[in-house]
């Protein structure tokens, strides 16, 4: 990066010398030799043109060498004010110079009005700067010149420079989602055989989907991305399955906080959803919407503005999910609460049932520490497996038993009476009749 900063400083000093008619080693900016180590090509994966290089370096300078831009603070002595042609904007806490599209135009066009026209094309929506979310112009006021917009570099591109390409945004109002991780593996997930087979199909698409589309020329007909619906009672493995899919394929899984997304104000829910999808557009992420029926419920007959607003939200989400190039997983406890229009957009609809007695026995075997069991272990496991509980409820029982059994001085065994009473409390907590 030092070579790139040095190159930019030479470029900037030369631009000022040429603009103000001072002596200069170079007659044009293009004459300045490029650094031998082309880091920009590595970061972008492209053959970067000279104009693109200047725009990228200018956008990066506030982040890597803000003092390099201090030259722009000189005042026009005739008017006792900054030079309009330098552009620039003032940040909230940053005291340095922040470039705009006008700043790019100053470096690339200098005195040429014709060259200014070509600069606008750098920030067109068809340019790879915009398509791949690298840099863009933002924040122009109504009626203000296009090049007056702030020159902003994306967090994703900065991650390539500062964090070896790992981009993991923090939870915030602009990105109301948290990354999910798990220490468990597929061997720890106890599910019916047919459900495991359906999950295997999802893993095959994540691994080979692109090759499958290319081999049979299906990319002409199939939309990008993959959409799943997981439905079933709470605690049956929906969230864990999403986490394991991400873990197996090296994909970050982000759980969307619907409490931060859904708004009573018209248009705000759509804006919040747009922030999430826009951030995820170019990332290898899985977006996980838990309790999705809260957001994606059935559309209703329009009787007032509230109904129209709710229907617009569902329609907007249908569009964004269908256009999203990555994987989206919706999870719900009640499938029938979802709008029917979603189902044709899902490639996989998976039902996660409460485990049967055989699976519950296997789960108890995995969850209960062997140190707790004595010669009556088989009886304890058999009796416990009779009681209908989800995997999540079983975890609650094990945790409660652990608290009651903990004694650093004594090795305590799990008695059948203690186990049964703990299960009874869990059932009562869930509002189930205990017999």
Same domain, residue pair 24 and 148: yes
With a cut of 60, say whether residue 180 has pLDDT above it.
yes
120 belongs to a structural domain? yes
Same domain, residue pair 333 and 365: no
pLDDT category, 310, cuts 50, 70, 90? low
pLDDT at 299: 46
232 belongs to a structural domain? yes
Q: How many other CB atoms sit within 10 Å of the CB of residue 373?
A: 15
User: Which of 396, 351, 386, 387 is closest to 233 using CA atoms?
Assistant: 351
pLDDT at 73: 92
Q: How many other CB atoms sit within 10 Å of the CB of residue 20?
A: 9
Q: What is the average pLDDT score of the chain?
A: 85
Same domain, residue pair 387 and 347: no
With a cut of 70, say whether residue 301 has pLDDT above it.
no
345 belongs to a structural domain? yes
β partners of residue 152 = 136
243 belongs to a structural domain? yes
Q: pLDDT digit string (tens) for 347-380? A: 899 999 999 999 999 999 999 998 888 888 898 9
With a cut of 60, say whether residue 236 has pLDDT above it.
yes
pLDDT at 306: 53
pLDDT at 352: 94
Same domain, residue pair 58 and 152: yes
Same domain, residue pair 235 and 346: yes
Mean pLDDT of 26-42: 80
With a cut of 70, say whether residue 311 has pLDDT above it.
no
pLDDT at 413: 85
Same domain, residue pair 132 and 225: no
169 belongs to a structural domain? no
With a cut of 50, say whether residue 428 has pLDDT above it.
yes
Same domain, residue pair 121 and 269: no
Same domain, residue pair 201 and 303: yes
Work out the percent of the chain whose per-residue pLDDT is above 90. 33
Domain boundary among 303, 329, 351: 351
What is the C-alpha separation between 213 and 324, in angstroms, rounded? 17
Same domain, residue pair 422 and 280: no
* Higher pLDDT among residues 180 and 175, named by residue: 180
pLDDT at 191: 92
Range of the domain at 190: 177-351
Q: pLDDT digit string (tens) for 217-233? A: 777 777 788 999 999 99
Q: pLDDT digit string (tens) for 389-406? A: 999 999 999 999 999 888
Q: Tokens 């110079």 identify what position?
A: 97
Domain boundary among 315, 332, 351: 351
Same domain, residue pair 226 and 145: no
Give the torsion sign (CA, 211, 212, 215, 217): negative
Q: Check if the beta carbon of residue 261 is closer than 8 Å to that of residue 287.
A: no
Q: Check if the beta carbon of residue 99 is closer than 8 Å to that of residue 56.
A: no
Q: pLDDT digit string (tens) for 42-74? A: 777 778 888 988 999 999 999 999 999 999 999
Q: How many domains does the chain have?
A: 3
With a cut of 50, say whether residue 280 has pLDDT above it.
yes
pLDDT category, 407, cuts 50, 70, 90? confident
With a cut of 60, say whether residue 240 has pLDDT above it.
yes
Q: pLDDT digit string (tens) for 115-134? A: 777 888 888 888 888 888 88
Same domain, residue pair 319 and 186: yes
What is the C-alpha separation between 358 and 389, in angstroms, rounded? 12
Give the torsion sign (CA, 11, 13, 18, 24): negative
Lowest mean pLDDT among 5-9, 108-112, 320-324, 367-371: 108-112
Same domain, residue pair 230 and 86: no
pLDDT at 176: 86
Q: Domain holding 212: CATH number?
A: 3.40.50.300
183 belongs to a structural domain? yes
Q: b/e per residue, 292-313, with b = 16+ CB within 10 A? A: bbebbeebeeeeeeeeebbbeb
**At 188, is the secondary structure helix, strand, or coil?**
helix
170 belongs to a structural domain? no
Joined tokens for residue 100: 């705009």
361 belongs to a structural domain? yes
pLDDT category, 1, cuts 50, 70, 90? confident
Domain boundary among 103, 129, 162: 162
């Amino acid at each position: 990066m030092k070579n790139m900063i040095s190159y930019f400083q030479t470029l900037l000093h030369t631009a000022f010398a040429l603009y103000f008619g001072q002596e200069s080693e170079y007659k044009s900016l293009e004459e300045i030799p490029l650094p031998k180590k082309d880091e920009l090509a590595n970061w972008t994966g492209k053959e970067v043109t000279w104009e693109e290089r200047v725009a990228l370096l200018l956008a990066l300078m506030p982040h890597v060498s803000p003092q390099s831009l201090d030259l722009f603070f000189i005042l026009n002595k005739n008017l006792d004010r900054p030079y309009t042609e330098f552009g620039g904007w003032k940040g909230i806490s940053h005291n340095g110079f922040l470039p705009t599209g006008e700043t790019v135009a100053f470096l690339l066009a200098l005195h040429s009005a014709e060259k200014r026209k070509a600069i606008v094309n750098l920030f067109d929506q068809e340019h790879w700067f915009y398509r791949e979310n690298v840099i863009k112009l933002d924040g122009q006021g109504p009626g203000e010149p296009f090049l007056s917009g702030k020159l902003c570099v994306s967090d994703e591109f900065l991650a390539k420079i500062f964090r070896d390409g790992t981009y993991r945004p923090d939870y915030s109002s602009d990105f109301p989602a948290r990354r999910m991780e798990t220490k468990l593996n597929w061997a720890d997930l106890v599910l019916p055989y047919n459900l495991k087979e359906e999950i295997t199909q999802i893993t095959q698409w994540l691994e080979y989907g692109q090759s499958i589309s290319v081999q049979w020329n299906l990319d002409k007909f199939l939309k990008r991305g993959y959409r799943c619906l997981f439905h079933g009672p709470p605690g049956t493995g929906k969230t864990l399955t999403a986490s394991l899919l991400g873990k197996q394929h090296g994909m970050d899984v982000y759980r969307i906080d619907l409490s931060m997304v859904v708004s009573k104000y018209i248009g705000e829910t759509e804006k919040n959803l747009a922030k999430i999808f826009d951030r995820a557009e170019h990332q290898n992420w899985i977006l996980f919407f838990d309790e999705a029926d809260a957001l994606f419920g059935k559309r209703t007959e329009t009787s007032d503005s509230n109904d129209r607003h709710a229907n617009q939200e569902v329609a907007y989400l249908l569009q964004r999910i269908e256009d999203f190039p990555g994987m989206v997983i919706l999870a719900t406890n009640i499938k029938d609460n979802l709008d029917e229009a979603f189902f044709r957009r899902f490639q996989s609809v998976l039902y996660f049932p409460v485990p049967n007695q055989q699976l519950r026995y296997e789960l108890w075997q995995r969850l209960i520490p062997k140190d707790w069991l004595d010669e009556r272990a088989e009886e304890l496991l058999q009796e416990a497996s009779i009681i209908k509980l989800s995997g999540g409820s079983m975890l609650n029982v094990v945790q409660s038993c652990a608290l009651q059994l903990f004694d650093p001085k004594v090795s305590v065994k799990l008695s059948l009476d203690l186990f049964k009473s703990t299960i009874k409390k869990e059932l009562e907590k869930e509002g189930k009749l205990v017999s």
